[in-house]
Chain A
């Protein structure tokens, strides 16, 4: 009887796993694209990403040169993906009303403005080298190809190296480094670093500018300035 019960419980748990699986969970929405932004929904190939596109768990997003994408998660957390970046978004529903989110950075950088997470919710920023656990904060993560740099402008982030398991808490105003050799360090960030991270996280009060040169059929050149936050 006891063995039967255990088998039943195990079967129930196993059957329940797909119900809470991460695939096909809608995680986020692309709210802005500038220049070249593509997304990939495996097994499909890369396709142009458009404003208003939903991102499912496992979707990848890539930005080209002088490009930008703003992604809003279902809980209103925001990441601003800088140029030449590649990342993967994931989400796992822990039951009705909560969603744990993860962004894996494989290259480039993004600013983040993460809303306060509910109980049983998590927001992780990962790379092949590191994992940063966030509960509600702002900053910028860059790297994804060896060493990672994390700047925190608001709140506190636990920054852990995957290889060594070493970790450090990075508070607001500090910059953390997670390296291939397993070391994790932090120091006070410079004003320039903080301004850059704040700009990446919030869009900044000052706008960025893209200068494009356009040619018409007669070869006449015209400049086009695109300002974005």
Chain B
């Protein structure tokens, strides 16, 4: 197959000539994915704009650092036609992050973005800005990372340019607090710069950003840091500055209409958030209501109220608690939470529902005499008594599932600590009439962090033991039931089972559906241990892990089970951070319970080199990954033998030509060779070129070209190919002194998918805190009917 058809080649040529382009994927559910600018040491926000949001029940972002095999999942917070989440800073390792989106639909289906082969050919977020962010041209002296000042008078903001060498033009320093340019207020004392906190600075979170350019204007050095301000008033004890309430609120009302495939779906949504602070007390509240809410779906409305002091945070509503990785991460809980922080002792609690009851649907009723024939016609259907004479076939409902998780910990949350975690979750059998098998889950775990030599060395560990009962309909089994089930056992063995039941039934329902029923090979035990060493510009990490084949936590749906092995990662910075070498090796095996006919070994080796020259030349990243899975079972039915080769080359360059441009060229290709009888070979290639520009006039543009070629096997003999090319051009312009923002984009797609997107939007600010926005999107589809979407959004800040 020709990867670069003539038309695509011409497009590339045109784009090169006109310095255009950026990546694009084709989906009928995801319009675009936006990521916040990456700053080293800071979490990274991801926002997804959706189409057909009413069809989507939940969205997860699955992500991994370069070279890691497993994807971590985070549930995104859906609100209206967008979803967002924040990836923790600890999971962001240069040179880039790989990710894809998993969309869980109401009809039970799952889709991904990108659509084709997302695990082997995921999307990427470039983390190269870490290099410039970590160079020492700008050294922030105050605040300390995440420091919270007691008052505005207490706020000391200062940085040093002592290490800015002769190639840097110190007169180009720009300082921004919360995006506002405060450079003119700065006091320069030699190479130390101090910025008096602006008078408008209010209590809450703030950010400072400092940048300085090279003398030739070729590149900028940027450093940013967040800090907090408790109150806007003077130091405690100052009688003239007594505490007072400060408030902030935001209101957004949206009406939206989607006409997709001749199906019209209206959306009406309202969101309101408010916060207030008084001295040490902070109160927050948020509410989101939508016409998508109905009792046949999991909750679409959201609400949360919380109160916070220096040592205690309490709240009720929809929250996403993060506990020990193996046990509870990012799952939505509707209920109560508390975080107590005393320093030497901390306590985190979350209790609420993770699944709302959805009553079953009765499909039809029939007399008992017909039951056998009905079951014969649908062996997987759900049947149950309807009344005294009739039975019914129904769609199974969803049980209400509650969850309690408690974590006491000792030590500093960020520093040395030891924590214990208890999780209990159970379906409410009485919540619906007809359901599947109600379940119950209990997990106990512990975790620790030992930092040594100012975090130069870190030793980490976590373990968790789970017990899951897959059918608690009948409750804990009785003595008679034990005698019946274990009739082959001796009397003493049955007595032992009774004793075990008597003890553990206080924690979980004990019957024959409990996992584990024996502890051989510890099937429900999971643990991980890691050692990280960070010295001499070299970061090395070794992790050993074992996840039993039956380990399960209702608070964490994406732990890879039945795996044991290790991984090693190393990252080395050279030539004053201009060169970044990354390497890793992972070896994992399954069959931890020794119940499979063969043990499969998976190995992943990766290397990458990135070069970030300080002048003229573009930055370059070249990465190679090799992964294989194999076992030596003689039977071809069980035999596994495949390998994956993946190559990435990426070039990036900032330059000035009538405006400030950021151009990125990325080429990636992966080939999967399956030597087993299944022959599930696959090949993906993507070439993208993008250029974003900011002009002196209030004009921003983005132009991109993406050429995508995907081939994957569906069975031993056949395969499917999808090749397409997408052009994307977008421009935003500000009129009337930034009161009116107008933007438009056009994006034609050619090849196996043919459609053209036209999009126009504008936002008008009546006053700085009140605006009205409108948007119209038209999709001209060649194979199907056209789609039209319009929306109006009113925003107000008080």
Contacts and interface: CB of A to CB of B under 8 A. Distances in A.
A76 B145 CA distance: 13
Nearest to B453: A154
B194 interface: yes
Contacts of A56: 190
Nearest to A78: B141
Interface in A79-128: 96-99, 118
Contacts of A138: 454
Contact of B142 (A24, A31, A96): A31
Contacts, number: 61
Interface residues on B, range: 20 to 34
B796 interface: no
Interface residues of A, number: 23
Interface stretch (B2-10, B156-164, B511-519): B156-164
Given A31-B142, A96-B166, A74 B191 contact: yes
Contacts of B139: 74-76
A72 interface: yes
A118 B139 CA distance: 14
Interface string A183-197: 000000000000000
Contacts of B165: 96-97
A54 interface: yes
Given A54-B192, A72-B142, A75-B139, A29 B164 contact: no
A214 B141 CA distance: 34
A29 B191 CA distance: 11
A202 B453 CA distance: 11
Interface in A10-50: 24-26, 28-29, 31
Given A31-B141, A54-B189, A74 B162 contact: yes
A29 B190 contact: no
A113 to B, nearest CB: 8
Contact of A205 (B158, B191, B412): B412
Interface in B140-196: 141-142, 154, 156, 158, 160, 162-166, 189-192, 194
A75 B163 contact: yes
Contact of B156 (A31, A74, A97, A202): A31
Contacts of A205: 412, 415
A75 B194 CA distance: 15
Contacts of B453: 154
A202 B454 contact: yes
Contacts of A165: none
Contacts of A208: none
Contacts of B163: 75, 97-98, 118
A51 interface: yes
A204 to B, nearest CB: 12
A29 B192 contact: yes
Nearest to A207: B343
B523 to A, nearest CB: 40
Contacts of A154: 453-454
A164 to B, nearest CB: 33
A72 B141 contact: yes
Contacts of A146: none
B152 to A, nearest CB: 13
Contacts of B190: 24-26, 54, 56, 74
Contact of B191 (A26, A51, A76, A202): A26
Contact of A97 (B141, B166, B194, B454): B166
A29 B166 contact: no
Contacts of B191: 26, 74, 99
Contacts of A51: 154, 156
Interface in B403-435: 412, 415
Contact of B194 (A25, A28, A54, A96): A54
Contacts of A72: 141-142
A29 B141 CA distance: 8
A75 B139 CA distance: 7
A56 B189 CA distance: 9
Contacts of B192: 26, 28-29, 54, 74
B162 A29 contact: no
A205 B454 CA distance: 11
A26 B189 contact: yes
Contacts of A26: 189-192
B199 to A, nearest CB: 17
A99 B156 contact: no
A205 B410 CA distance: 13
A138 B456 CA distance: 13
B280 to A, nearest CB: 15
A75 B159 CA distance: 10
B615 to A, nearest CB: 16
Contact of A76 (B141, B164, B166, B194): B141
A24 B160 CA distance: 16
B412 A29 contact: no
A99 B139 CA distance: 14
B346 to A, nearest CB: 14
B416 to A, nearest CB: 8
A54 B159 CA distance: 12
Contact of A52 (B194, B412, B415): B194
A56 B192 CA distance: 10
A97 B160 contact: no
A76 B223 CA distance: 14
A97 B190 CA distance: 12
Nearest to B537: A116
Contacts of A202: 454
Contacts of B141: 29, 31, 72, 74, 76
B142 A75 contact: no
Nearest to B163: A97
A97 B137 CA distance: 8
A152 B634 CA distance: 62
B194 A29 contact: yes
Nearest to A116: B536
A51 B194 CA distance: 11
Contacts of A97: 162-166
A154 B154 CA distance: 31
Given A29-B194, A54-B194, A75 B189 contact: no
A129 B310 CA distance: 47
A202 B191 CA distance: 25
Nearest to A28: B192
A138 B454 CA distance: 10
Given A29-B142, A154-B454, A75 B158 contact: no
Contacts of A28: 192
Interface string A201-221: 010010000000000000000
B168 to A, nearest CB: 8
Interface string B188-222: 01111010000000000000000000000000000
A154 B454 CA distance: 9
A52 B159 CA distance: 11
Contacts of B166: 96-97
A98 B136 CA distance: 11
B156 A75 contact: no
Contacts of B412: 205
A72 B194 CA distance: 13
A74 B412 CA distance: 29
A31 B41 CA distance: 23
A202 B166 CA distance: 33
B190 to A, nearest CB: 3
A51 B160 CA distance: 16
| Most chain B CB atoms below 10 A, which of A28, A96, A99, A138 | A96
B216 to A, nearest CB: 16
Ordered nearest first, which 4 A-B pairs have the shortest CB separation?
Answer: A26-B190, A97-B165, A74-B162, A74-B160
Given A31-B156, A74-B192, A154-B453, 6 more contacts: A31-B158, A54-B192, A74-B160, A75-B160, A96-B165, A97-B162
27 contacts: A24-B190, A25-B190, A26-B190, A26-B192, A29-B142, A29-B158, A31-B141, A31-B142, A31-B156, A31-B158, A52-B156, A56-B190, A72-B141, A74-B162, A74-B190, A74-B192, A75-B160, A76-B141, A96-B164, A96-B165, A96-B166, A97-B163, A97-B166, A98-B162, A99-B191, A118-B163, A205-B412
